[in-house]
């Protein structure tokens, strides 16, 4: 059981940059065959300035959060969590080398099955160095 008083809690804001090698590693890990995701020349030929961050990669960057004490503050047990839902709303493309800022908050906490499962909703706004919106992320984490 996780205290609903944490609804609205803001997580520490952080900035992160993705290197091209990391995007090539991610492409390998998911068996990507489209060269725009691992070959800079192919990306440029397709009209991109360099390697694009693929559709789900912003979620990976949320793990770069340098301060993860919020999970302990909520009382989450990482051995007993499952990912319930994930969504992305896209505003503009992000690329290797972009400095991205992540601002997250706990949007909701609710229970199901008589309190056996707790659902924690985290919403994140990602912006670039000009403050332009890149994407909005919504994660539902289930604590068993």
Partner 1 sequence: MSKITFDAVNVGDLLPPLTLPPINRTTLALFAGASGDHNAVHIDIDYVRRAGMPDVFAHGMLSMAYLGRLLTQWVDQRQLRQFGVRFVGITHLGHQVTCTGKVVEKFEADGEKRVKLEVQTTNQYGEPRIVGDAVIAF
- Residue ranges that bind partner 1, judged by CB under 8 A: 22, 25-26, 28-34, 46, 52, 54-56, 59-61, 63-64, 78-90, 93, 138
Nearer to partner 1, 90 or 129 (CB): 90
Nearer to partner 1 by Cβ, of 125 and 138: the residue is 138
Cα separation, 73 vs 128, whole angstroms: 29
CB of 100 to partner 1, least distance (A): 14
Contacts for 9 with CB less than 8 Å, ≥ 6 apart? 70, 73, 74, 105, 106
* Residue 50 and residue 94 in contact, taking contact as beta carbons nearer than 8 Å: no
Closer of 32 and 39 to partner 1 (Cβ): 32
Q: Minimal distance in Å, beta carbon 123 to partner 1?
A: 13
CA distances from 94 to 57, 115, 141 (A): 10, 39, 25
């Amino acid at each position: 059981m996780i205290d609903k008083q944490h609804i609205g809690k803001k997580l520490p804001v952080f900035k992160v940059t993705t290197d091209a090698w990391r995007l090539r590693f991610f492409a390998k890990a998911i068996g990507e065959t489209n060269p725009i995701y691992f070959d800079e020349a192919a990306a440029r030929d397709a009209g991109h300035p360099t390697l694009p961050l693929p559709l789900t990669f912003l979620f990976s960057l949320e793990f770069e959060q340098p301060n993860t004490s919020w999970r302990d503050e909520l009382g989450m047990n990482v051995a007993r969590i499952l990912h319930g839902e994930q969504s992305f709303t896209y505003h503009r493309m992000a690329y290797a080398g972009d400095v991205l800022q992540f601002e997250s908050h706990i949007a909701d906490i609710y229970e199901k099955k008589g309190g056996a499962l707790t659902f924690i909703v985290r919403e994140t706004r990602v912006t670039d160095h000009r403050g332009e919106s890149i994407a909005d992320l919504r994660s539902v984490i289930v604590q068993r």
